[in-house]
Amino acid sequence: MLAGIAFSCNDELEIEPISEETAASAYSTGPQIQAALTGVYESFQSSDYYIWDRLIYQDVRSDNHYAGGDNPEIFQFDRVDVTPTNGRVYGMWGNIYNAISKANIVLEKAPLVEDKITDEEREQVIGQAYFLRAYHYFTLVKNFGDVPLYLEFISTPDPSVTRLPRADVNEVYTQILADLEEALLRLPDDYGNDASVNKARATKGAANALFAKVYAQMPTPDYNKVLEHSNAVINSPAGYTLLSNYAELFDGNHYNNSESILEIQFLGGDEGNWAPQMHLPPSVSGDSWRKFVTPSKDLVDAFDAEGDVVRKNATVLFENVPWIDEYWGNAPNSSVAFAYKWKNASAWASADNEYLLRLADIMLLKAEALNELGQTAQAAEVVNIIRDRAELEALTAEATASQTALREAILKERRLELAQEAKRWDDLIRYDKAIEVMNSVDDIDLSTGQSVNYNVTETDLLLPIPQNEIDRNPNLTQNPGY
């Protein structure tokens, strides 16, 4: 399993050149290039962003979760008031560009490897590296807009190579789509019968799923392409199917299941996931300090308003706690909501995996595409399959009465289905609802008795470019308003 192969790296962005002589000897055989590829995957397991911060960027930054805990930099995300000096933004930028740098090495060196590798294996290595580079650039462009495009293995200290300016958003998306085309040409539907491998590595299903998400999230979405690639996932020879029991997705015993398309793999112990310890309440985590990323009252109310007991119980756990919580209870022993899609803390060494891509997300994207293409009845049928799994009635006549009504219903369905899976902010941006939704949230800070004014503006829709990176690279410009 990929998670079981150790690979050491430094995820702070330091694009230092590697000599051609060293590179030539380090990546000259099949096992060596496979190890290099494993290093690209390892960025999912070692990066603070992919392990945990992506929930801060997506769920805490939106109306799904509060910051919890005691970290001022996470409070900035909670209040949608992130500064260019926020260390988590700097760390995320470095984490992801480090992963891109590792993918670039594989893409340059893999075509030259002939020893101890078959043609098929080489093509699969290249396909996976293209997929991974696309995935990481998609993460960057969604959060920052224009970003530098590093597409080559850097072997020179020349500032014209190492200090690139920001590429236009459309250019970045064009590159992402080009990388995914290359990936799709080379990737198999599966790597055999071992699900822990098929869900750990990029496949055609993963490439098509990411294609669908990219075409939907672009500044000008292409919903025909979203539909095409969503259908390719749904009809894949890999046989993706919804689990019949929603709770089994997150009970810790059914990872690498038929609904999963791509997961971050954790073995526990030395190869464990530390994120669950940050979220889970004292009765599960075994400690009594204040936890992070707590579900919002707005999210809990959304579950209750829909009568969505199945997904609420899989997502939220209430527990009385000894600390004071400014949203759930301004006194000790108040009942507080906890993020619960990871169930096992295991003393910072959990074997709980994290879904990057799963079928229900892609099905709801298909429904979104159908609705945007005017096929409202067909879109509602797809949504109702997701609702049936959650033991909910079909959408009402009111929810399906128009394209606009169904658009709102799909956005709500995505919120309830995918809470705590790092999807919400992207959805609000894609639906052009972030400002409206966030400025309509009625949160009361119990420590002051005052309403929280999120005051989200156009500036807040993108994150600031880290000030450290601007100081290092004078060719970088800051996003407007920061």
In tens, the pLDDT along 176-223 reads 999 999 999 999 999 999 999 999 999 999 999 999 999 999 999 999
Does residue 22 register a pLDDT over 70?
A: no
d(CA 363, CA 234): 7
pLDDT, average across residues 113-122: 96
**Which of 350, 206, 332, 192 has the alpha carbon at shortest distance from 278?**
350
Are residues 365 and 276 in contact, defined by beta-carbon separation less than 8 angstroms? no
Numbers of helices and strands, H then E, in the chain: 22, 8
With b for 16 or more beta-carbon neighbours within 10 A and e for fewer, the 174-184 pattern comes to ebbbebbebbb
With b for 16 or more beta-carbon neighbours within 10 A and e for fewer, the 189-223 pattern comes to ebeeeebbbbbbbbbbbbbbbbbbbbbbbbeebeb
216-243 residue pLDDT tens: 999 999 999 999 999 999 999 999 999 9
177 three-state secondary structure: helix
Average pLDDT over all residues of the chain: 94
pLDDT, average across residues 452-460: 97
For residue 454, what pLDDT is reported?
96
d(CA 350, CA 275): 8
DSSP string computed for 86-150: -HHHHHHHHHHHHHHHHHHHHHHHGGG--BT--HHHHHHHHHHHHHHHHHHHHHHHHHHSSB---
Does residue 373 register a pLDDT over 50?
A: yes
72-104 residue pLDDT tens: 999 999 999 999 999 999 999 999 999 999 999
**Which of 138, 356, 157, 139 has the alpha carbon at shortest distance from 261?**
356
**Which of 217, 272, 261, 209 has the alpha carbon at shortest distance from 52?**
272
d(CA 387, CA 416): 10
380-421 residue pLDDT tens: 999 999 999 999 999 999 999 999 999 999 999 999 999 999
CA-to-CA separations, 24 to 33, 112, 114, 155, in angstroms, rounded: 11, 9, 13, 12
- How many of the other CB atoms lie within 10 Å of CB of 403? 14
Residue linked to tokens 């996931």:
273
For residue 23, what pLDDT is reported?
53
| Higher local confidence (pLDDT), 17 or 248 | 248
Does residue 32 register a pLDDT over 60?
A: yes
283-320 residue pLDDT tens: 999 999 999 999 999 999 999 999 999 999 999 999 99
Does residue 428 register a pLDDT over 50?
A: yes
* pLDDT tier at 456, thresholds 50, 70, 90: very high
DSSP string computed for 398-420: TTTSSHHHHHHHHHHHHHHHHTT
Does residue 165 register a pLDDT over 80?
A: yes
Quote the tokens at residue 43. Answer: 């960025």
d(CA 23, CA 21): 5
CA-to-CA separations, 368 to 133, 138, 224, 232, 377, in angstroms, rounded: 26, 20, 11, 16, 12
For residue 230, what pLDDT is reported?
98
pLDDT, average across residues 329-340: 95
Does residue 424 register a pLDDT over 90?
A: yes
Residue linked to tokens 């959408």:
395
Q: Which of 148-157, 258-267, 367-376 has the lowest mean pLDDT?
A: 148-157
For residue 161, what pLDDT is reported?
78
Biggest distance spanned by C-alpha atoms of the chain: 68
pLDDT, average across residues 61-69: 97
The residues with which 320 forms a beta bridge, in sequence order, are 335
Quote the tokens at residue 110. Answer: 């893999």
Does residue 175 register a pLDDT over 80?
A: yes
Q: Is residue 293 left, alpha or beta, with left meaning phi > 0 and alpha meaning psi from -120 to 50?
A: left
pLDDT, average across residues 43-52: 94
Does residue 7 register a pLDDT over 70?
A: no
> Over the Cα atoms of the chain, what is R_g?
22
d(CA 479, CA 415): 28
Measured in residues, the chain has a length of: 482
- How many of the other CB atoms lie within 10 Å of CB of 313? 13
